[in-house]
Structure 1
Amino acid sequence: MNIVIAGAGQVGTHLAKMLSTERHDIVLLDQKEENLKPLDANFDLMTHAGSPVSIYDLKDSNIKNADLFIAVTPYESENITSCILAKDLGAKMTVARIDNNDYVQPENIERFKRFGVDSLIYPEMLAAREIVQSLRMPGIRQLFDFSDGELILIGLKIRGNAPIVNKPLAYLDARDENYRILAITRGYDTIIPTGDDEIEDGDIVYFITTKSQLPVVKERAGKKNFDVKNVMIMGGSRIGIKTAQYVPDYYNVKIVEIDKARSFKIVDKLDRALVINGDGRDMDLLREEGIEKMDAFVALTGNAETNILSCMLAKQMGVKKTVAEVENIDYFGLAENFGVGTIINKKRIAASHIYQLTLNAEVSHVKCLTASDAEVMELIAKEGSKITRGKLNEMKLPRDVNIGAVIRNGEIFIAHGDLQILAGDQVIVFCLPSGIRKIEKLF
């Protein structure tokens, strides 16, 4: 695929690095040459210093042969304008990063398509939705649902007292209890397990199960249920505001924002949250605002270290559920070691949504797992594809791929060995980066 990416910021850089390993022809366009130099030397891609709204620079980036143009600069208007120009100059598909909630309404999405913007991506909105989802199911590190919430994939940190620890997976009654263990993250490694593998204390384990069996899975993982009602958000960023807007009405939300002028702006946007002007790192202030009574603490400042340490302190003060925005991927291990419950990373979330546009198979969704370098994909099995030619236990699936479940005419089947995938099935697949292209060939 010929891909032109406009914007060498966090999202654009992450996407360019990821796609450059997959034999795509990548051109990364940015106005600042200093943003391009580290990538030009270390990755298999072309860089071009220029403006994405310059017709000359777009032509110089070979836009007429681009299969995909991705505009992810920090400026919404620049992204939209560059997509319109790129489409007119020959790009087959365009994607624009935006920060306006009105634009992603169904009627406006169609309007942008007529202009030449095929797809819109709003990372802050996607991040806020992930946060709210994690608050609704505390105790869970990461959660994705399929089939209107009837099929659920969850990541859980396992402690030594869990019933499934130190037992070969082949001896667990996962089949009878209608769940499947798809992967295990241990330290910095992600394992696609076999029946001989065992879960160890401290592992993050990814399960797929039905909504009705979720309590069984949590019990097997040693997790106790508790409800979240009182939430404190540190940082009145766009993600923080979106999170406060998306939480259920029965939540009591407090937002702590250090900037006084921004505090007043947040008050104008939110009618259900209490906004406190102050420093969220001030423990005396947090005590005065009742942090000990909070069920969840969400740290969304622009500083990863502050977010991680604040969550650690919130844990020490009795808060059960913590969420931290960590944009520096190198800090994921630190956040994990400090016991941060859920890690939010905008660039990975955005990249997952854009990434599915580069796949040849019919992919409905791609989800990036924050605690792992793996991806979860929902694919449609095509008529005559290799994946439909036998039962799963008769097929030699790649070692870096695991089939989780099948949705067939609204009915859910957890993928055990005697299941056969049929044409038209929606299939949930867990795979490491090395397995993505193999999966395309199977489907």
Structure 2
Amino acid sequence: MKIIIAGAGAVGTHLAKLLSGEKQDIILMDENEEKLSKLDSNFDLMTVNASPTSISGLKNAGVAGADLFIGVMPEESRNMTACMLATNLGAKKTVARIDNYEYLLPKHKEFFSHLGVHSLIYPEMLAAKEIVDAIKMSWIRQWWEFCGGALVLIGTKMRETAEILNVPLHELGGRNIPFHIVAIKRGNETIIPRGDDTIKLHDIVYFTTTKKYIPYIRKIAGKENYADVRNVMIMGGSRIAVRTTQYVPEYMQVKIIENDINRCNRLTEVVDDKVMIINGDGRDMDLLLEEGLRNTEAFVALTDNSETNILACLAAKRMGVTKTVAEVENIDYISMAESLDIGTVINKKMIAASHIYQMMLDADVSNVKCLTFANADVAEFTVKAGSRITKDAIKDMGLPKGVTIGGLIRNGEGILVTGNTIIQPEDHVVVFCLGMMIKKAEKFFN
């Protein structure tokens, strides 16, 4: 597959690194030669030093034979222009990164497609949705719904109160167990568990289950005493913060603390009246305490500085806040953030890359989620008639090491699978893949 990525910024370089390991034909375009020179020698990709909005530059990059053209430059208008030009010069499919929510409305889809922009991605909106999913339940690190919630994935950290510590998985209730443990994150290692594996203190355990069994998982994880989130404090009035306030449930009270007075004035115009805007430095503990930090169940740090966000969440934890979320855009800091136990980490680059990655899979995939801490992906495949996965029971399928099936949705109902389960056409199957294994798993669903 020939893929051209326009823009060697944070999202473009992360995506190029991700895809270069896939043995795809990757071309990264940017007019800044310095950005490109850092990448060229270290990864299996080609770089083109030209403007992605230049017709001659696009021709030199070989856009006529491109299967996928991805515009991820900082400026929305340049991404749209580059995609339109790429389509007219022969690219089969285009994706543009945008920052205008209005463009995503279903009524505009055909209009943009006609112009040559086939898909749109808005990383700030995707990040805001992840934040809201993370704060809805204070005891959960990651939460992901499949098929409108028929099946859910829950990631939660094991504390001393967990009932399932040090018990081999095959002893956890046998065939009638109402959940499936798809992965265990232990230190820097992610384990696809087998029956004789055990869960240890401080593991992050990923469960798939149906919604009615969430209270049961909360109980066995020892998290029943965690307060439900009613009050949310957001540090930093970024675009993600604005989107987050639009997605939080009605029952939550939100405060945004922003240092820049001009930004505060702008926030009062764009957020709901019930959101309180406070002008001040979110690193000032006296200010946070004055504004009710001790009565806050969720603290979300969304400044443009990863270190500030990590430290602010650490401070909030020390003050007794149950749930903290930090935006950490520096990928090198993510494992450090996890070792400091700051709660949920949000990274726009990884979220955007997951969604773009989904578009280049041949199988029918409606969802791909990158699990930030676990170096793993969860994908939701729709099973086609005649595909390999329907030919035998799961245990006889020979799935690659590092791939496990977490559950399936049949006729709108979530079903947990065993080794004897036979998958049928039209099932939606939730597949957990370590590292870059989605491409290998995909072959079973084509």
Q: Which position in structure 1 is the counterpart of 2:246?
A: 245
1:110 positional shift: 2.0
Q: Report the alpha carbon displacement of residue 305 of structure 1 after superposing the two structures with TM.
A: 0.6
Equivalent runs, 1:194-209 vs 2, <5 Å: 194-209=194-209
Counterpart position of 1:189: 189
Corresponding residue of 2:363: 361
Structure 2 CA distance for aligned equivalents of residues 226 and 149 of structure 1: 23
CA contact (8 A) 1:79 1:97 kept: yes
Aligned to 2:37: 37
* Between 200-209 and 246-255, the greater mean CA deviation after superposition: 246-255
How far the C-alpha of 1:395 sits from its partner, in A, is 2.5
CA displacement at 1:40 relative to structure 2: 0.3
CA distance in 1, matches of 2:275, 2:268: 8
Alpha-carbon offset, residue 434 of structure 1: 4.3
Q: Deviations over 1:100-156 (max 9, x none)?
A: 010001111221111110000000000001111111121100010012112110111
Tell me the residue number matched to 2:53: 53
Matched residue type, 1:236 = G
Q: Deviations over 1:239-269 (max 9, x none)?
A: 0111112112222111000111111000111
Measure how far apart 1:417 and its partner are: 1.5
Task: Tell me the equivalent position of 1:111.
Answer: 111
Matched, 1:422 2:413: no
Matched, 1:22 2:22: yes
Would you say the 8 A contact 1:139–1:341 is kept in 2?
no
Provide closer, same or farther for how the CA distance between residues 155 and 174 of structure 1 changes in structure 2, counting only shifts above 3 A: farther
Match of 2:82 in 1: 82
Query: SS state of the match for residue 368, structure 1?
Result: strand
> Counterpart in 1 of 2:63?
63
Give the Cα separation in 2 of the matches to 1:126 and 1:176: 35
Output the aligned Cα RMSD: 1.1
TM-score (structure 1 length as normaliser): 0.98
| 1:96 Cα deviation from its structure 2 partner | 0.2
* Worse overlay, 189-198 or 154-163: 154-163
Q: TM-score, normalized by length of structure 2?
A: 0.97
Q: Aligned partner of 1:235: which letter?
A: G
Describe the shift of the 1:150–1:168 C-alpha distance in structure 2 as closer, same or farther (beyond 3 A): same
Distance 1:125 1:162 in 2: 34
Within the candidate set 378, 381, 393, 1:379 is matched to 381
The Cα shift of 1:413 comes to 1.3
Letter in 2 for 1:277: N
1:232–1:291 CA contact under 8 A, matched in 2: yes
User: Would you say the 8 A contact 1:405–1:412 is kept in 2?
Assistant: yes
Q: Once the two structures are superposed, what CA deviation does each residue of 1:267-307 show, in whole Å capped at 9, x if it has no partner?
A: 11112211111110011111111111111100000111100
Greater Cα offset, 168-177 or 267-276: 168-177
Q: Which amino acid aligns with 2:246?
A: Q
Change in CA separation of 1:114 and 1:32 when aligned onto 2, cut-off 3 Å = same
Structure-2 separation of matches of 1:393 and 1:37: 47
After TM superposition, the structure 1 = structure 2 runs for residues 247-396 of structure 1, keeping only pairs within 5 Å, are: 247-270=248-271, 271-396=273-398
1:145 is paired with a residue whose SS is: strand
Q: Secondary structure at the match of 1:42?
A: coil
Q: Give 2:413's aligned residue.
A: 411
The CA distance in 1 between the partners of 2:68 and 2:122, in whole Å, is 18
Cα displacement string for residues 160-204 of structure 1 (whole angstroms, at most 9, x for unaligned residues)? 331111111111116423100000111111111100111111111
Which segment drifts farther, 346-355 or 269-278? 269-278
Q: Is the 8 A contact 1:292 1:317 kept in 2?
A: yes
2: CA distance between counterparts of 1:163 and 1:375? 27
Q: Are the equivalent residues in 1 in contact too, given 2:150–2:412 (CA < 8 A)?
A: no
SS state at 2:283 partner: coil
Which one-letter code corresponds to 2:307 in the other structure?
A: E
Q: Which moved more, 1:71-80 or 1:355-364?
A: 355-364
Q: Which amino acid aligns with 2:268?
A: V
List per-residue Cα deviations over 1:52-98 (Å, max 9, x = no partner): 11001011100000000000000000000110000000000000000
CA separation in 1, counterparts of 2:396 and 2:234? 50
Deviations 1:363-408 (A, max 9, x none): 1111100111110000122222221111112332212100011111
For 2:161 and 2:138, how far apart are their aligned partners in 1? 19
Deviates more, 1:171-180 or 1:280-289: 171-180
Contact 1:400 1:434 in 2 (8 A): no
**Ranges of 4+ aligned residues in structure 1 off by more than 6 Å:** none
| Percent identity for Structure 1 against Structure 2 | 57
Comparing 377-386 with 47-56, which one deviates more in the overlay? 377-386
Tell me, in whole angstroms, the C-alpha distance in 1 between the residues paired with 2:153 and 2:57. 43
Output the amino acid matched with 1:414.
L
Letter in 2 for 1:320: T
Instruction: Supply the AA of the counterpart residue of 2:313.
Output: C
